[in-house]
Amino acid sequence: MKQVCERIKNNLLSASCVELNNVMDNSLAEFGQCLNAAQINVHLLEDQLHQYLWMRTSGKKEFPIFEKVIINELEDGYIINGSVQTEFFEDIIYQLVLPLRSEGRLIGLAGFLWTAENKMVKEVFDQIEQICQTFSLVLARKIKEDRALSDIHQMEKIFMQTVEAFSSIVEISDPYTSGHQSRTGELARAIARKMNLGYDVEHSVYLASLLHDLGKFYIPAQILNKPGRLTEIEYSLIKTHPSLGYQILKKIDFPWPIADIVLQHHEKINGSGYPYGISGDDIMIEAKILCVADVVESISSHRPYRPALGLDSALFEIKEKQGTLYDVDVVEATLDLFIKDKYQF
């Protein structure tokens, strides 16, 4: 019994947060067999309510161990056979409920149930108490990790809402391209996934796509929405938008090189792009992906100066100019995505 308890304790305290649920389930099963218990429950206590976390049972029925437990009665004791006790007595025990505390605060309950006559001795009870101390440590750790995870998710949600708000700024001045950035982002992420570049590249190219036209906010609307051909001066102004977007985004401490991707998204691999005319390997792979996704979405969609040319025209454009303007691997992945995988906007 002592060896089993020590092994369970070591397993629980050394388990990572990812492994914890599985380790706890296995530990309850092993401890239940050792005690010959029909059921062991560990519950989290929140606002006087019991939230099931882990249960080991020998049958399909869930026994209502905690239904009649009055929380206040557990401050100084535990429950044996439905009655509050402050001292252990060696006798037939079919139900046992012990409090789980952290820093003096009641955070959960551990319940044990036997369906057959069970004579419990002090040595076994002491081992159960020790295991419950480990349960308390595990439960307190889980509470902290869950709260931290909840905070992270909330921060991620706020972060994405902020990015989307920035993205919508462009649509205020350029309503004709409404949805362009989000569609480009979805395509760019799909291309990165097709190329097996990993989560960081997928996520960074998606975020950069949502923000890649942010600099257009500073371009006069009459130029952005001009139905006819742009003059050389007007086109020169349009070509400043990657640099303008970069100036805004470089002030934000992203965990990914978002500003640099935005800066390079109109560069071409033969050096004919803008704003700096860099070429080949000097262009980030994320920018190469965004460049192709941007071209495909733009040609496929309606613009103030022309009707939508369609997907076939877009794919013809990148295929014809792969290796010249567009990265060969990015183009091949994009073509596979649309032709073989039947990708749709």
Q: Mind listing the domains of the chain with CATH numbers? A: 2-144 (3.30.450.40), 152-339 (1.10.3210.10)
Q: Give the position of tokens 């569609």.
A: 183
pLDDT of residue 176: 61
Give SS3 for 77: coil
Amino acid residing at 206: Y
Q: What is the pTM of this model?
A: 0.66
pLDDT of residue 56: 63
pLDDT of residue 93: 87
> Can you point out the beta strands (E) in 66-134?
78-80, 83-85, 91-92, 95-102, 105-113, 119-120
In a structure prediction context, what are the per-residue pLDDT tens digits for the chain, which is 345 residues long?
Answer: 778 778 887 888 888 877 888 888 888 888 888 888 888 888 887 655 545 556 665 544 555 666 666 666 676 788 888 788 888 888 888 888 888 888 888 888 888 888 878 888 888 888 999 988 998 888 888 888 888 888 878 888 888 888 888 877 777 766 666 688 889 999 999 999 999 999 999 999 999 999 999 998 888 878 877 877 888 999 899 999 999 999 999 998 898 999 999 999 999 999 999 999 999 999 999 999 999 999 999 999 866 666 778 899 999 999 999 999 999 999 999 999 999 999 987
- The per-residue DSSP string of 188-254 comes to HHHHHHHTT--HHHHHHHHHHHHHTTGGGGGS-HHHHT-SSPPPHHHHHHHTTHHHHHHHHHTTS--
CA distances from 205 to 96, 196, 221, 261, 277 (A): 56, 13, 27, 8, 21
Neighbours of 302 (CB within 10 A): 12
Amino acid residing at 2: K
pLDDT of residue 139: 85
Measured CA to CA, the distance from residue 17 to residue 141 in angstroms comes to 9
pLDDT of residue 111: 86
CA distances from 40 to 12, 52, 197, 203 (A): 16, 11, 45, 43
